[in-house]
A = this chain, B = another copy of it.
């Protein structure tokens, strides 16, 4: 099998062959191998349920590929709800003629990312569409997690709460943009694409009271903070100089007239904790390699303003506007 043909999505012999020889090889678990129309699961707990389709271009990028992203993305959406990721579904939409070798690379990379959290792909679907009707490959993953920590919500912020990010912002966005535009960054900048569950698990085990938590993907840090300000009816104040941004990310942003705060991240979390828990949370996050650059970046001011204020290093204040417009299509 050198390339994917329409027959691989036809539901007949070739589909069975693809499932057995590729997907079962890498996503090997008893539930998936039962091959029924649905997976049957036992989860004795509240369940978190989420979905995401991935249409990123290019499909292979520094620090990851569409497969790694499709696992991390959904694992992260569960994680930030305080849910331990358990089971994923995986649905491929593949363009006729797509190289089998590339599909295998993607599937292998998905399997590797799954291992980091022990999450299993338990059900799937493959569609193949004729040339020109889809760009290479799109992947949907939906996920189920066991809620192990309750009460995380965008509505929970109150005066004095601290806002923490787990690492530098904008890496994924700038990395994809540079690669797409053929800009040679001449640096080792890679996407931050990763599964953040261990960060969340560490906070929970450390008894940090997590008030709100999000992974700042499309729309970046700005989207998360503006949504929190809106949902909790508060003003959030952020110190620009505290936001960790890599110099090469800052540089390209200035060149292109973008702000790193609206760029997508795929392996970061933003957390709101009470003032008392701030130091403990930072310490816990920084002990995990994924959180080594964690920073306290701001705090929640008074009720009633519903806005995000950015305090620059010169001491001036401006609004961190919610992202709008077509920032970067196909970033995830």
Does the CB pair B93–A55 fall under 8 Å? yes
User: Once bound together, how far apart are the Cα atoms of A102 and B218, in whole Å?
Assistant: 25
| A interface, over-half SS | mixed
Interchain CB contact (< 8 A) of A145 among B10, B38, B55, B231: B38
| Beta-carbon nearest neighbor of A77 in chain B | B37
Known: A6-B326, A142-B142. A49 touches B81 (CB 8 A): no
Count class of interface residues, chain A: 35 or more
A11-19, A186-194, A284-292 - interface stretch: A11-19
Residues of B within 8 A of A214 (CB): 37
Q: Closest CB-CB distance, A258 to chain B, in whole Å?
A: 13
Q: Count identical subunits in the complex.
A: 2
Residues of B within 8 A of A6 (CB): 326, 329
Known: A6-B329, A41-B49. A36 touches B87 (CB 8 A): no
Interchain CB contact (< 8 A) of A130 among B5, B51, B93, B329: B329
Which of A12, A52, A132: most chain B CB closer than 10 A? A12
Interchain CB contact (< 8 A) of A324 among B7, B50, B147, B330: B7
User: Once bound together, how far apart are the Cα atoms of A6 and B219, in whole Å?
Assistant: 13
User: Once bound together, how far apart are the Cα atoms of A209 and B217, in whole Å?
Assistant: 48
User: Once bound together, how far apart are the Cα atoms of A326 and B303, in whole Å?
Assistant: 60
Q: Verify if A309 is at the interface (C-beta below 8 Å from B).
A: no
Does the CB pair B49–A326 fall under 8 Å? no
Does the CB pair B40–A47 fall under 8 Å? yes
Q: Closest CB-CB distance, A293 to chain B, in whole Å?
A: 22
User: Once bound together, how far apart are the Cα atoms of A14 and B147, in whole Å?
Assistant: 31
User: Once bound together, how far apart are the Cα atoms of A36 and B155, in whole Å?
Assistant: 10
Q: Closest CB-CB distance, A158 to chain B, in whole Å?
A: 18
Interchain CB contact (< 8 A) of A49 among B13, B144, B329: B144
Known: A134-B133, A218-B10, A324-B12. A48 touches B38 (CB 8 A): yes
Q: Verify if A323 is at the interface (C-beta below 8 Å from B).
A: yes
Residues of B within 8 A of A78 (CB): 37-38
Contacting residues of chain A (64-111) with chain B, CB-CB under 8 angstroms:
77-78, 80-81, 83, 87, 89-93, 96
Q: Verify if A122 is at the interface (C-beta below 8 Å from B).
A: yes
User: Once bound together, how far apart are the Cα atoms of A215 and B38, in whole Å?
Assistant: 12
Does the CB pair B81–A38 fall under 8 Å? yes
Does the CB pair A90–B7 fall under 8 Å? no
User: Once bound together, how far apart are the Cα atoms of A52 and B129, in whole Å?
Assistant: 14
Known: A46-B42, A123-B51. A14 touches B134 (CB 8 A): no
Residues of B within 8 A of A178 (CB): none
